[in-house]
Chains A and B, each alone.
Chain A
Amino acid sequence: MPTHSFILNGERVSVDIEDDVRLLWVLRDVLGVTGPKYGCGLRVCMACTSHLNGKAFNPCSVPVSALGESDEVTTIEGLAATSGQDLHPMQEAWIDTDVAQCGYCQPGQIMTAVAKVEQARAEGRSLTDADFDEIRNICRCGTYHRIREAIAAGAAKM
């Protein structure tokens, strides 16, 4: 069985598993990192959204063999550390806005939000309603409006 090695939340991990197993299952079923959630396995619901080298991606759609030794995967569990604080400003904004209902989609929503803000920032602009309209993450509890408020608040503190 092949061994795969990458950096997960700041620490090197090695996993013995078949090449084609999608990273979501390596994280959840093998490594026990359960923050990224399953909602479709089809790159549709975005519940599994995490970061690869600082950008948003969907581990349900990436075979573990596609990762290289130096790739850095950050899940919701590792987000705060990237800001050097107990909580990332976006997580704080989520708490202040009391966004969550069941919470199942929220790790993915937060990871999307952070990447979205950073992407806009890299383009030298701030987020607009049109950007919010493009967010694909499902929230079946319908917290969409508070998500918009929280992203705006979190962005201001990032």
Chain B
Amino acid sequence: MTQYSRPPRPEEPGPQHPGRRRFLGYVLAAPTLVAAAQIGGTALAPQTARAAGLPTLPQPSELYDLNDLLTDAALPTSGLITVTVNADGTASFALPRAEVGQGITTSSAMLIAEELDLPLDKITVTLADARPELLFNQLTGGSNTTISTYTPIRVAASVARGRLLRAASQVLGDAVDTLTVEAGVITGSGGRSVGYGELAVRAAGAGVEPVAVTLKPASRFTVIGTPQGRIDARDIVTGRKQFAMDLAVPDALPTMVCRPPTINGTVKAVANTAAVAAMPGVTDVAVVSTGVAVRARTFGQCVDAVRALEVTWGPGTEDGRSDADVLKELRAAEIPLLVPAVPLLAKTIDADFTFWFASNSALEPNCAVADVRSGSAEVWAGLKSPIVAQEAIAAELGLPVASVTVHVTQSGGSFGRKLFPDAAVEAAVVSRAMGKPVKLMWHRTDEFRQGRTHPMSTARVRATVLLGQVLTYEQRHTSVSTDFSHGLGEIITALAAKLPVGDLTFSETVFELTQQSPYDFGVTTQLLNEVDTGFNTGSMRNIYSPNVRTAQELVVDRIGEALGKDPYQVRDAFLKDDRTRAVLEKVALDGSWGRAMEPGTAQGIAIHTEYHGAVAVLTEIDCRPATTGRQITDACTGPRVTKVVCAVDVGLAVNPTGLRAQMMGGIMDGIAMALTSSLHLTDGYFQEGSWDDYFYTRQWNTPPELDITVMPPTTGVPGGAGEFGVAAAMASAACAYTRATGSMPTAFPVNHDGPLGFTPLPTVPPIPQSPTDGLDHVS
């Protein structure tokens, strides 16, 4: 730890901003103005700026020794993020995070706009390449981006603004404190003005120079907390936004992999390699550990080649197993409840739930571009954990880490998928095997069948109630192992998570860190156990919370019944925290909680606390036969959520528009998890193979009425948003369904045990051919 990381001391009030903390930033040597701040624990400035030296990284020193890549970690500028002011008056920033749709390029630009007093449209935010020296600080996950970058980005922008003012004072001949700044133009007392662009070079640093800054107080915010549209909106609606598969990397031809018919099966032999290699457009065929790769002029010709391959497959990791087998395994692994089922005086409430496998596949499939040469590799992919990707590729290819360049592209969604570099590693391996650049993409059917899943889990809950009080609340979550080997964004922790015991411990840690009970329910225990590592899993948006929370919220309704309280009243009575109570009251009011409804329809209400925030969701559902039986071609209809009212408090919403969008997405996920979307494991493979099999929410499932309120700032510090909507939305839909039908489901989604709503695609060949009848469906 350096002298700058010590806890803040009571400060002597400064002349301009009494009692406010000062932070340490830097001006770096560069041709134009480059201001910087440290990410991962922004340094507090010492009392006097003169005493400032350069920070060292806060991580333990042994991490460096293990990692020869980190030779440059000793450089004083390691671990810094930088805001550059360009000679054209714009500012640019390379965000060491992945934009997967959550709007963090926009919110990061807003932070810069605020501190720099520069309009939003003059700020460019790109995604940084893998920067191994950032260690733990280049992981996008756990809805943590804004929490962790809120201060450093503003510090860097503030340093830049200060330097621009100093340069302007020299140009204009006015003292700094007489200057005013507006929209990137600095005006002196005499009315003369100069733009940031004209000052950018003059303000540049000659060496590394520490600078202490004081950030703008919230009372003077004009950008943070205001609704802003996405900075990439125009590129998106014109088709210009580029994802990995849209990049024109020279000679990187379309590439697909013929995958096994069962989960993680292996290639034994290929009978017709030469014939397939001679097919139209096909350039290469190569066996790799995940299957048989083909490279062709177009993806259409890759599909033809994959379908033509005659492969003998070895066994997979879950051959012959079906849903019921895994459920049995989970039941056997449940940690026993402590309180006896029949206590003498108290009333016992017991509940038992199953949450089936679900898919976290995004609309953009797993994909990556790779160009592996002898001695070096370059990869482009949407990656939330680019340092893990870089090191995994280096290990796979036997190259020094420094010889692997990893570019982070814009992602077409993540939901947990992009935490793992599966496609990037596979693309690198295939590129090496073929000796050519490849543009590798998974087929949609592979996404569902071989892609990562949200693991199946069970929840067992027991609560005891006596004399109007809840005495005990116990919950046991038992899950197929969740793969956390993306670690904390860095290969060392990734390796630790791969140790047989280490992984379970890490899961338990995540569970412990994320699952708090928001209720005063007496003696409370919530425990996790995980079994079976044969599946390809990963955390899906909001990890354990949607299932854990759904189980708890359903039981809270039952506790309410036992106490003679309705679902709103029981929550209001037992919630620990006033911010949660406030969102609960908000949705109850806005959603007219308790209004009279037709039989077969009902309201449900649920809350969730996580990511330093609170959210409540009120749902209205229609389970009447006329609705559940409605017919839409190749669609899963069923119960319809007709209305959702949501209120969210994240402490401080940097961009309320973006937060609302995140909540809307989370609500659609929650509805799907409660009612329609799951994978069916049968005989060692998942039956779903297309979006008409895997029933993620579609327009016909979307609530026609949707009302989302962003609460006014409470803590003044931003909390997490990306995953926050899912748990309360799923729980709320489940509670509404229970009240509408009069019976509490024991498995989710509620349609999983019904007749399969589709005809499964064959497993050999592993992917279907594209239809040819498109012209019969022009509309």
Beyond A39-B363, A55-B779, is A94–B699 a contact (Cβ under 8 Å)? no
Contact B779 A119 (CB under 8 A): yes
**How long is the Cα–Cα vector from A138 to B412 in the complex, in angstroms?**
12
**How long is the Cα–Cα vector from A59 to B772 in the complex, in angstroms?**
10
**How long is the Cα–Cα vector from A64 to B517 in the complex, in angstroms?**
58
B373 at the interface (CB under 8 A from A): no
Contact A95 B233 (CB under 8 A): yes
Q: Which of chain A's residues 51-95 have a Cβ closer than 8 Å to chain B?
A: 52-53, 55-63, 66, 75-77, 80, 87, 91, 94-95
Give per-residue flags for B749-779: 1 if the beta carbon is below 8 A from chain A beta carbons, else 0: 0000000000000000000101111110111
Contact A42 B768 (CB under 8 A): yes
Contact A87 B237 (CB under 8 A): yes
Chain A residues, Cβ within 8 Å of B22: none
B467 at the interface (CB under 8 A from A): no
Contact B444 A41 (CB under 8 A): yes
**How long is the Cα–Cα vector from A44 to B709 in the complex, in angstroms?**
33
A157 nearest CB across to chain B (Å): 14
Beyond A25-B298, A38-B441, is A142–B668 a contact (Cβ under 8 Å)? yes
Give per-residue flags for B646-666: 1 if the beta carbon is below 8 A from chain A beta carbons, else 0: 000000000001000110111
Chain B residues, Cβ within 8 Å of A39: 363-365, 444, 691
Q: Which stretch, B27-35, B201-209, B257-265, B299-307, touches the partner chain A?
A: B299-307
B703 at the interface (CB under 8 A from A): yes
Q: How many A-B residue pairs have CB under 8 A?
A: 239
Contact B770 A140 (CB under 8 A): no
Contact A145 B702 (CB under 8 A): yes
**How long is the Cα–Cα vector from A123 to B365 in the complex, in angstroms?**
37
Residue of chain B at shortest CB distance from A138: B691
Q: Which residues of B contact A (CB under 8 A)?
A: 99-103, 229-230, 232-243, 245-246, 248, 253-254, 280-281, 297-301, 303, 361-365, 410-413, 415, 441, 443-444, 632, 634, 657, 661-662, 664-669, 690-692, 696-700, 702-704, 706, 768, 770-775, 777-779
**How long is the Cα–Cα vector from A44 to B667 in the complex, in angstroms?**
23
Beyond A44-B692, A101-B661, A101-B665, is A94–B239 a contact (Cβ under 8 Å)? no
> A44 touches which one: B99, B103, B281, B690 (CB < 8 A)?
B690
A30 at the interface (CB under 8 A from B): yes
> B661 touches which one: A104, A132, A146 (CB < 8 A)?
A146
A8 at the interface (CB under 8 A from B): no
Chain B residues, Cβ within 8 Å of A115: 779
Name the residue in A32, A100, A101, A137 with the highest tally of chain B Cβ atoms < 10 Å from its Cβ: A101
Beyond A57-B778, A80-B238, A100-B236, is A133–B699 a contact (Cβ under 8 Å)? yes
Contact B413 A104 (CB under 8 A): yes
A135 at the interface (CB under 8 A from B): yes
Q: Which of chain A's residues 12-52 have a Cβ closer than 8 Å to chain B?
A: 17-18, 20-26, 28-30, 32, 34-45, 47, 52
Beyond A100-B236, A145-B706, is A66–B243 a contact (Cβ under 8 Å)? no
Chain B residues, Cβ within 8 Å of A117: none
A118 nearest CB across to chain B (Å): 10
Contact A76 B239 (CB under 8 A): yes
Chain A residues, Cβ within 8 Å of B99: 102
Contact B698 A138 (CB under 8 A): yes
A97 nearest CB across to chain B (Å): 9
Residue of chain B at shortest CB distance from A93: B237
Residue of chain A at shortest CB distance from B364: A104
Contact A32 B248 (CB under 8 A): yes
Chain A residues, Cβ within 8 Å of B301: 18, 21, 25
Beyond A55-B779, A134-B700, A144-B668, is A105–B363 a contact (Cβ under 8 Å)? yes
Chain B residues, Cβ within 8 Å of A101: 101-103, 413, 661-662, 665
B706 nearest CB across to chain A (Å): 5
Residue of chain B at shortest CB distance from A32: B248
Chain A residues, Cβ within 8 Å of B297: 17, 29-30
Chain B residues, Cβ within 8 Å of A126: none
Q: How large is the interface on A (under 10, 10 to 19, 20 to 34, 35 or more residues)?
A: 35 or more
> B233 touches which one: A17, A26, A76, A94 (CB < 8 A)?
A94
Contact B774 A62 (CB under 8 A): yes
A141 at the interface (CB under 8 A from B): yes
Contact B362 A94 (CB under 8 A): no
Offer 24 A-B interface pairs, CB within 8 angstroms, sorted by A: A21-B300, A25-B254, A25-B299, A29-B300, A32-B248, A39-B444, A41-B444, A44-B690, A45-B363, A45-B444, A55-B778, A57-B778, A58-B774, A60-B770, A63-B772, A76-B238, A102-B99, A103-B241, A104-B362, A107-B236, A133-B699, A142-B664, A144-B697, A148-B699
Chain B residues, Cβ within 8 Å of A145: 664, 702-703, 706
Chain B residues, Cβ within 8 Å of A43: 770-771, 774, 777
Beyond A38-B365, A138-B691, is A102–B101 a contact (Cβ under 8 Å)? yes
Contact B699 A135 (CB under 8 A): yes
Q: Which of chain A's residues 94-133 have a Cβ closer than 8 Å to chain B?
A: 94-96, 98, 100-107, 110, 115, 119, 129, 132-133
**How long is the Cα–Cα vector from A52 to B102 in the complex, in angstroms?**
33
**How long is the Cα–Cα vector from A52 to B724 in the complex, in angstroms?**
41
Contact A140 B363 (CB under 8 A): yes
Chain B residues, Cβ within 8 Å of A60: 770-771, 774
Contact A95 B229 (CB under 8 A): yes
Contact B237 A106 (CB under 8 A): yes
Name the residue in A26, A58, A115 with the highest tally of chain B Cβ atoms < 10 Å from its Cβ: A58
**How long is the Cα–Cα vector from A51 to B400 in the complex, in angstroms?**
48
For the A-B complex with A47-B363, A143-B664 known, give 9 more contacts whose Cβ atoms are closer than 8 Å: A21-B300, A36-B239, A44-B690, A45-B691, A60-B770, A66-B772, A100-B232, A100-B237, A144-B697
Residue of chain A at shortest CB distance from B672: A142
Beyond A21-B301, A34-B245, A138-B363, is A42–B770 a contact (Cβ under 8 Å)? yes
**How long is the Cα–Cα vector from A102 to B239 in the complex, in angstroms?**
12
B580 nearest CB across to chain A (Å): 24
Contact B365 A141 (CB under 8 A): no
Contact A98 B696 (CB under 8 A): no
Beyond A38-B441, A98-B657, is A22–B700 a contact (Cβ under 8 Å)? no
> A95 touches which one: B237, B253, B415 (CB < 8 A)?
B237
Chain B residues, Cβ within 8 Å of A134: 632, 699-700
Chain B residues, Cβ within 8 Å of A132: 699, 702
**How long is the Cα–Cα vector from A135 to B698 in the complex, in angstroms?**
8
Residue of chain B at shortest CB distance from A47: B363
**How long is the Cα–Cα vector from A145 to B699 in the complex, in angstroms?**
8
Chain A residues, Cβ within 8 Å of B240: 35, 77
Residue of chain B at shortest CB distance from A18: B280
Chain B residues, Cβ within 8 Å of A75: 239
Residue of chain A at shortest CB distance from B247: A34
**How long is the Cα–Cα vector from A52 to B662 in the complex, in angstroms?**
34
Contact B239 A61 (CB under 8 A): no
Chain B residues, Cβ within 8 Å of A41: 299, 303, 443-444, 770
Contact B770 A22 (CB under 8 A): yes
Chain B residues, Cβ within 8 Å of A40: 444, 690-691
**How long is the Cα–Cα vector from A62 to B253 in the complex, in angstroms?**
22
> A18 touches which one: B254, B281, B364, B768 (CB < 8 A)?
B281
Residue of chain B at shortest CB distance from A142: B668
**How long is the Cα–Cα vector from A115 to B778 in the complex, in angstroms?**
10
Residue of chain A at shortest CB distance from B668: A142
Name the residue in B100, B690, B778 with the highest tally of chain A Cβ atoms < 10 Å from its Cβ: B778
B410 nearest CB across to chain A (Å): 8
**How long is the Cα–Cα vector from A129 to B704 in the complex, in angstroms?**
8
The 5 closest A-B pairs by CB, nearest first: A35-B239, A102-B101, A142-B668, A104-B412, A61-B774
Chain B residues, Cβ within 8 Å of A138: 363, 691, 696, 698
Chain A residues, Cβ within 8 Å of B102: 101
Chain B residues, Cβ within 8 Å of A61: 770-774, 777
Residue of chain A at shortest CB distance from B411: A102
Chain A residues, Cβ within 8 Å of B771: 42-43, 60-61
Chain B residues, Cβ within 8 Å of A47: 363
Chain B residues, Cβ within 8 Å of A32: 248
**How long is the Cα–Cα vector from A138 to B67 in the complex, in angstroms?**
43
Residue of chain B at shortest CB distance from A53: B778
